[in-house]
Structure 1
Amino acid sequence: MKTLKYILSAIVLLTTAWGCEDNSFDNLDFVESAVAPTNVSALFGVTQDNTGSVTITPNSEGAVSYSVQYGDDTAEAETVSQGESTTHIYAEGSYNVVIKAIGITGLSSEITLPLEVSFKAPENLEVTIANDEAVSKQVNVTATADYAISFDVYFGEEGNDDPVSGNIGETVSYVYTEPGTYTIRVVAKGGAIETTEYSQEFEAVAIVQPIASATTPPTRNVNDVISVYSSKYTDISGVDFNPDWGQSGQGSSYAEFDLNGDTMLQYINLSYQGIQFAAAEDLSEMEYLHMDVWTADVTTIETSLISLTNGEKPVVSELNADQWTSIDIPISAFTDQGLTVADIHQLKFVGDPWAGGTVFIDNLYFYRASTSEVSGSLPIDFQSDYVFSSFDGGSIATVENPDTSGNTSANVAELIKGDGQTWAGSKITVEEPYDISENTVVTMKVWSPRVGLNVLMKFEDEAVWPDTSATSEITATTTVANAWEELSFTITGVDSSLYYYNLVLIMDNGTVGNGSSDYTIYVDDISIATFLDFEENYAMSSFDGGSISAVENPDTTGNTSTTVAQLVKGAGQTWAGSKITVEEPFDIEEGTTIKIKVWSPRAGLNLLMKFEDAAAWPDTAATDEITVATTVANSWEELTYNITGVDSNIDYYNLVLIMDNGTMGDGTDNYTIYVDDISQN
């Protein structure tokens, strides 16, 4: 029922306004961007008892309350909260009811609605019933009558006896479960006991439309695309997909069709349709125009590029009925006709002008062949092109980073799990095999829509399934939602006699995806983590009472490495410590994350880390000193350091570690720690 729909809308609006995680009122940015309520309306309901009792239910988008002026001699307006109603007794007559919708910031919008109260039965009832052109199986009913205030429509579908109500003169809608012929009954109501009815047999029809998204999701690098309409890329701004070129006079119309969250352009009864850019686009470096088109009843589509300089040139493409047609038109097909493509400001589509028909268009963009060299092996940062493929419902593409908070990369990889197999996924193939061995730690930044999403990683050789050989499948689980985090995968089951050319990623293995945002993740910066693991010799030294040496791992619970580094702080200076020196400078920059496994005899032990250049003290230059405290005793844990104060002009050859800086050590077990697997992101 319409009243219930209004109440539910109010609940959604209030939940959206107040359901944020941060309940403080420090951020008032929404005040500056707030707008007055829109789509203000009200539903009138009248009792059929000659009393003149009218119930008024206001509604809008963005209001929290309403001021209702009844339009008679009542001096004061009635205040009504969103989702509530007010009832008023009217004498017979005509009134103008003023509804003022008030938003959370005090901004308001106003509408005046006519109301006629009569104790006569409604007369001259006229009803219009029509199928909706854009929504399948939706029927729209409009009713007018003298002496009527509202009307109820009983749509006659079995199992649903509730009417849909509207004010007289308005249109109400209903979507049937199945197409077919139904008895639609309209009851016009005024203030009188008597009502007036109308009934009609009417056929609700299904609009033939796609039931699945386009089967060729874009995988091209964002740097090689100018997108007009696509969820995979950032579209050029200010595009008008329905400019008034007179096509509506020939029965053509436009809607944005939503297919389970995947929106697409829908051109109904297509004679011709334009798309207007906000500014002219230079397509000189582009090589193709791509679009995916679905139709049930249009045989060809004519596509024109329109130049500011020398008009338009068309190209005709054949369409396949009842399926998606993937179209790639060479830009040369336009330029060979003499068209200038340096100032394209419009597109035009022409269907079957006299036959009508509807088309759905998605993934509308211009592109060129890749301008980047194909990259491979680790690390993978998606700033250049990679060889991607997917299987059994998976999808992978390079896209612009949707969230630069926590990851400033321009491009990342988008992975989608669609409706296919439970193991649907994607893989990244390289020309030289991945350099991995048993217990290699691979890190990967992941942006997930939810906590608890499982990401499976494995490496495969180049054989074709079912002859494929692979490492063990390692799964890591996301711990945050709608934010970047780094996941670690310790790769096992590595056969050293094989060459692994494929990195395979599967989300939620064992569960069928649906292609929605809940099954869409972004990944970036896939790299091998460990750069100091103490399984080989390093140049190590100490100063002012510190000591460092490679020793056998004293506790393999939580860290299975054979060899680790032992650090001891003896009596000397309060800054006694140790350093590890490398032949090539450490590859660090501002914000670099360093992780280190630490075994400490006590919780709360402070371990300082910094990087220094090769100069001798006191001429040494260093990064900032970052200190992290241990949280457990007598067991391994991983500490994380975000390195700051990095001068990019300096080469850092020394990694310095100091425990409990400012406190004198004594060389006992209380000042002895073990470190391992110092890794960099």
Structure 2
Amino acid sequence: MKYLMNKTKYIFLFILSISFLGCEEEDEANLPEVVAGFTFIQSETTGTVTFTNISEEAQLYEWDFGNGTTSTEINPIRTFAEGTFTVSLKASNIAGASNTFEDQITIDIPDTMPDFDSGLLTNGGFEAGGDSWTGNALNVQTEGGNSFNLANVETAGNPFDVNLSQVVAITQGTNYILSFDASSDQARTMLAGIGLNEAPFTNTTVEVDLTTDMQTFTLQLSAADFGGANSRVLFDMGAAVGTVVIDNVSLVEGGDGSDSNTGGDSGSLEACDGGELVNDFETADDSIFNNFGGGVGSIIDNADTSVNSSAKLGQYVKNAGEVFGGITIALENNIALNNGTFTIDVNSTSVRQLLFKLEGLNQELILPTSGAGWETISYDFTGQSGEVTGITLIMDNGTQGDGTADWTIQFDNIRLCGNESSGGGNALEACDGGELVNDFETADDSIFNNFGGGVGSIIDNADTSVNSSAKLGQYVKNAGEVFGGITIALENNIALNNGTFTIDVNSTSVRQLLFKLEGLNQELILPTSGAGWETISYDFTGQSGEVTGITLIMDNGTQGDGTADWTIQFDNIRLCGNESSGGGGTCTPPAAGEFITDGGFEQNAGCWQLINNGGTVTISTTVNNGGSNSGQIKTTPGSNPALKQERVGAGTITPNTTYVVQFDIQASTTDVPADGAVFQAFTFSEPAEGSTDPAVQHVLVTGDASFPTTWETRTYTFTTAASVDGGVSLLLELVCGGAGTCTGTINIDNVSITAQ
């Protein structure tokens, strides 16, 4: 019997060990296999290589570029010297599994140095050594194995006693343009000009910065008082002892002879025809910058004028650990925008998604920089009009900076191009086929919900010469109030779909009038003229849903005083161009314990903001994970389309409390996000409506390049900030970098925010 029991025990242990072994093998088999891989595109002229990560089932990446540098970016961009490099990528998942892929790249940059045209001079590029040049500074040498030579000048320390010159025929009474490249081992003052040995030269003082990079100088010179075959081009090197490098000297007829040093050429930077210069930063100082969230703006000297010839530049740094760090640039005068395009010259060493925002209008666009030096970026605000009070720049909003050169840009020459006349006058215009929302003829003061020191009332029209109505609405912003406004109740909710609202307004001062659609949380800000009655048009094209009221706020954030300057009359609110909303209904409240409204997208975007930002955001009626609809986001190169809900749970969500965000996500099988597309999700703890305090951002996920092609539920938690009186906002976005092949489509469904 004892033998039988022992034998039975051994058989049981044997079976048990097989069971455990089988489970272990099954678990290992169920773990996704990490596969590392990448492709790359290289520039044949610059040595810049753009890597596209095609790894599978990985979340962590370690790059080794074979030149002593590494990275943990998903899709890095690097510039290599000439040679052959073995690049390796180790891809890992959070469970510790990894895989490595490597490939070789060969960089062979062709010699594209153009032949230099010296104009009236010979050997302006010193290709023939010192031929045709004389002077006690002459010392031509070849540097770095390149095909061009430099005149390398050792100064003697005596004021303007070391020179370099060439004989050239000058025609008296003619203007000339002298251009050249120069660098110095220290900041120095030198002279350059034309003239005769026995007569004073037409010289211009040239300030050469401390830089190893060549600066380009262009001088306008006049030969009004001299001329002849034995004239000279002359450089006096200045008193500072050290080394000066001169190259690419050219002399041609032309210019205005103004002796002005214009400093360099425009290179690849393009000024739009007829553009109005907003700021070239030549006379500005750091006081023009309002820095926020870890962004720092400053005015700096231009260390390299080879492409951008300006003496001064703006510089913007996003500091380490900051996700929202930016700068707002103050304007000398507000800008009256009407269908204009802004351009800005930008110098960057990394690809950055640069947000350009028009303060006063609350309009913004995001475009990528190339990361390859100076370029002109154009932000098209066609269809927008109003008063611009400042310009805000933010790099890669939502991504942490590090304060290095990778998170630094220089910028210059902000211009407004193609701006149309904003018209004027005070004739009132009713849109064709417009639906009258309210003419205030039969209303009383009970339609107004006044807040923050704003007061709405119905008054008699004392002057019917422009507006013939008997009754008007009037809105006053009282003394000391910064947020005083009014909300106008509607007789019935409005089903909006791509409509434009107009309102007749009478003001004696220019006021930034915010027009907000309650229920959609959509708002636009446009200026009044301050010149009497006018019709202002608020275009909500692309927006749809149920409007439950209309809010007006004058100059949000600025104190009123209760006088006529802070009083407007208004009349005849109309809805124009509204399309059939094609179904849906009112935005029903969320279920008990939840805060997101219409998380299943069944009400045709009535509760969601669809933010295209260069891509396309729609409500899909063919893809869903339960119900009939889902939110669909399609991205394109340089865009960041998003779905957003603002200020949910105001008055209910509590501070310093953990909440859970959950949603389902699926990538399109025919347009899987690739070539730099990443998914990001953020929540924001909002202060009370009208507060000047900023929202606090909570990063749920950033830079996520893992896209399931079947529905997957994702869950994140965050803890609200100490101030959350305005509720919580949620943003879900699909971001593309600068790669021209970047693309992708995802669907989102069943979104919720609940307490933990």
Task: Please report the TM-score for the alignment, with normalisation by the length of structure 1.
Answer: 0.29
Task: Please report the TM-score for the alignment, with normalisation by the length of structure 2.
Answer: 0.27
